[in-house]
């Protein structure tokens, strides 16, 4: 393959009432991707959980879905009022999507897997493209254990492979078990190495996939904190450059009905990446979303001949210069020592005699002495009042400048991530449903 157009989807979490409604929503993104002539489409972490709401039954689930409907664009005033009332009632009754999902996984895990396969496999076939489906908590086909899994589907709708998240976030731990291995997935568009969430922060995982022959590194993220998003983005850039491969990272955004510890909105900027030598300004970024909270579809071209040439001509041939006969033994010893280090939970508590007793100032050693008397003697010359006034005026002026810059900085930050609100991109707004297009 000479070149490949890849599309990266930035998607909001929703609670659809039916699988048909969910698939219609997904078609918005896939129509945009095919318009851009993309052959590979990547969705974000945990967005696959949107196949679950239609399988839920009961009054609590109905309240949550009604409240979610009120947050949609282009809803009537009556729907918005009804949904807002449902949201108030859901909070008062402590209706919780995460709790309902846990019960669904326990009782109907196989049904959830079937719905996931039917949704994304059929869409990959319908649009004739390779689809990296969004991850979801699903029973692993190999052993039935629930894991955070993302599946790759081919243009015929067939499952080409899947990857389970290996390094769990605290948000995952009560619902899923970690995966045990990372393997490259062979597709018509290239060999894909898939990393979910925190997996991307470990250089060894990216290197393992590269040494298995990966040509593309794909990451999926779901971050409710700005710092976590920045870490995942930096980690993906590093894994891409570490191994001189093409890469992409897709983020879940928008309202959060799912997190266990906090319900801050999901936020992130999805991006398509390439080695720094192959990108403008040596940034490593071919294209990146402009907004932390908007849905969007971005596309870029990966030039594989240029990548192959880079491997041969780069002045930093990271793929071939690591002396594995020397580094391998050293790394093995290092990791063995790391495994033997005590964990924080195993350390003795700092109580009783282990805590050093307080000491008075007189008991502390003298490190230096003050040579000038304080306060100053009465006959000391007072400061020049005129100079002081001038300095005070300058200080007030400087303080005003700092306050202005601080306010401007805060405004810029708030413009990027604003709690609440719905600011979808114009691109997604103009993607009409098929019935509207016929009219």
Q: Which residues of 147-181 are buried (b: 16+ CB within 10 A; e: fewer)?
A: bbbbbbbbbebebbbbbbbbbbbebbeebbbebee
How much is the pLDDT for 258? 83
Q: Could you give the dihedral angle defined by the CA atoms of residues 15, 18, 23 and 26, in that order, rounded to the nearest 10 degrees? A: -10
21 pLDDT higher than 70: yes
The verdict on residue 434 lying in a domain is no
What distance in Å separates the CA atoms of residue 296 and residue 289, rounded to the nearest whole number?
A: 7
What distance in Å separates the CA atoms of residue 164 and residue 417, rounded to the nearest whole number?
A: 30
Q: β-pairing, 3-12 with 246-253?
A: parallel
For residue 280, what is the domain's CATH number? 3.60.110.10
Least confident interval from 18-32, 76-90, 376-390: 376-390
Which element (helix H / strand E) includes 41?
strand 40-42
**Confidence class for position 320, pLDDT limits 50, 70, 90:** low
Structure confidence by residue, pLDDT tens digits, 116-149: 999 999 999 999 999 999 999 999 999 999 999 9
How much is the pLDDT for 380? 45
Distance, C-alpha 437 to centroid of its chain: 34
Q: Which residue has the higher pLDDT, 73 or 189?
A: 189
Provide the domain limits for residue 197: 3-321
Task: Please report the DSSP string for 175-232 in residue order.
Answer: T---------EEETTEEEEEEEGGGGG-HHHHHHHHHTT-SEEEEEE--SSHHHHHHH
How many CB atoms are closer than 10 A to CB 424?
A: 16
Give the tokens for residue 133. Answer: 């489906």
222 pLDDT higher than 80: yes
How much is the pLDDT for 419? 41
ω into 375 cis (within 30 of 0) = yes
What distance in Å separates the CA atoms of residue 415 and residue 427, rounded to the nearest whole number?
A: 19
How much is the pLDDT for 130? 97
Residue 251 three-state SS: strand
What distance in Å separates the CA atoms of residue 155 and residue 38, rounded to the nearest whole number?
A: 12
Residue 308 three-state SS: helix
Q: Which residue has the higher pLDDT, 19 or 416?
A: 19
**Confidence class for position 438, pLDDT limits 50, 70, 90:** very low
Average pLDDT taken over every residue of the chain: 81
- Mean predicted confidence (pLDDT) in 152-171: 95
Residue identified by tokens 């020397």 is: 326
**Confidence class for position 434, pLDDT limits 50, 70, 90:** low
Residue 126 three-state SS: helix
44 closest CA partner among 182, 235, 218: 218
- Mean predicted confidence (pLDDT) in 382-394: 43
In terms of average pLDDT, the best of 81-90, 297-306, 309-318, 371-380 is 297-306
The verdict on residue 257 lying in a domain is yes
32 pLDDT higher than 90: yes
The verdict on residue 37 lying in a domain is yes
What distance in Å separates the CA atoms of residue 43 and residue 434, rounded to the nearest whole number?
A: 22
Task: Please report the DSSP string for 316-353 in residue order.
Answer: S-TTT---HHHHHHHHHHHHHHHHHSPPGGGSPPS-GG
293 pLDDT higher than 80: yes
Least confident interval from 60-64, 82-86, 327-331, 383-387: 383-387
The verdict on residue 281 lying in a domain is yes
Q: Which residue has the higher pLDDT, 36 or 261?
A: 36
Structure confidence by residue, pLDDT tens digits, 264-287: 899 999 999 999 999 988 999 999
The verdict on residue 433 lying in a domain is no
How much is the pLDDT for 401? 43
Least confident interval from 208-212, 311-315, 333-337: 333-337
- Mean predicted confidence (pLDDT) in 368-383: 46
- Mean predicted confidence (pLDDT) in 422-428: 51
187 pLDDT higher than 70: yes
In terms of average pLDDT, the best of 102-106, 153-157, 291-295 is 153-157
Domain count for the chain: 1
How much is the pLDDT for 376? 46
Residue 146 three-state SS: strand
60 pLDDT higher than 70: yes
- Mean predicted confidence (pLDDT) in 306-330: 73
What distance in Å separates the CA atoms of residue 131 and residue 116, rounded to the nearest whole number?
A: 13
How much is the pLDDT for 85? 87
Question: What CA–CA distances, in Å, run from 165 to 11, 182, 197, 335, 417?
Answer: 20, 9, 7, 21, 27
372 pLDDT higher than 60: no
- Mean predicted confidence (pLDDT) in 247-259: 92
Structure confidence by residue, pLDDT tens digits, 332-366: 666 666 666 666 556 555 454 554 555 555 555 54
The verdict on residue 83 lying in a domain is yes
197 closest CA partner among 159, 231, 239: 231
């Amino acid at each position: 393959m000479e070149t490949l157009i890849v599309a990266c989807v930035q998607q909001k979490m929703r609670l659809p009432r039916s699988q048909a409604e969910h698939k219609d929503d997904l078609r918005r993104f896939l129509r945009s991707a095919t318009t851009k002539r993309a052959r590979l489409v990547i969705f974000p972490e945990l967005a696959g959980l949107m196949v679950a709401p239609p399988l839920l039954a009961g009054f609590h689930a109905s309240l949550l879905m009604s409240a979610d409907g009120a947050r949609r664009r282009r809803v009537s005033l009556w729907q918005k009022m009804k949904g807002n009332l449902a949201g108030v009632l859901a909070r008062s009754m402590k209706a919780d999507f995460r709790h309902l999902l846990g019960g669904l996984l326990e009782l109907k895990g196989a049904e959830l897997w079937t719905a996931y396969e039917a949704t994304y496999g059929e869409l990959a076939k319908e649009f004739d493209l390779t689809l990296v489906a969004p991850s979801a908590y699903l029973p692993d086909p190999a052993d039935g254990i629930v894991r955070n899994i993302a599946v790759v589907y081919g243009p015929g709708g067939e499952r080409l492979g899947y990857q389970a998240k290996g390094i769990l976030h605290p948000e995952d731990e009560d619902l899923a078990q970690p995966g045990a291995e990372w393997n490259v997935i062979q597709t018509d568009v290239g060999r894909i190495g898939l990393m979910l969430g925190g997996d991307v922060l470990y250089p060894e995982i990216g290197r393992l996939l590269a040494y298995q022959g990966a040509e593309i590194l794909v990451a999926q993220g779901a971050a409710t904190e700005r710092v976590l998003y920045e870490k995942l983005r930096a980690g993906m850039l590093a894994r891409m450059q570490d191994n001189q491969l093409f890469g992409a990272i897709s983020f879940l955004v928008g309202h959060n009905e799912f997190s266990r510890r906090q319900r801050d909105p999901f936020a992130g900027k999805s991006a398509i990446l390439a080695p720094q030598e192959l990108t403008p300004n040596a940034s490593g970024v071919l294209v990146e979303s402009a907004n932390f909270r908007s849905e969007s579809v971005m596309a870029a071209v990966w030039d594989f001949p240029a990548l192959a040439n880079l491997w041969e001509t780069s002045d930093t041939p990271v793929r071939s210069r690591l002396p594995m006969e020397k580094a391998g033994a050293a790394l093995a010893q290092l990791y063995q020592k790391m495994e033997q280090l005590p964990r924080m939970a195993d350390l003795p508590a700092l109580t009783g005699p282990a805590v050093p007793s307080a000491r008075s100032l007189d008991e502390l050693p003298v490190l230096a002495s003050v040579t000038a008397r304080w306060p100053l003697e009465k006959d000391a010359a007072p400061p020049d009042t005129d100079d002081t006034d001038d300095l005070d005026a300058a200080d007030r002026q400087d303080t005003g400048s700092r306050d202005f810059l601080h306010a401007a900085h805060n405004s810029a930050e708030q413009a990027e991530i604003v709690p609440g609100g719905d600011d979808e991109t114009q691109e997604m707004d103009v993607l009409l449903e098929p019935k509207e297009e016929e009219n």
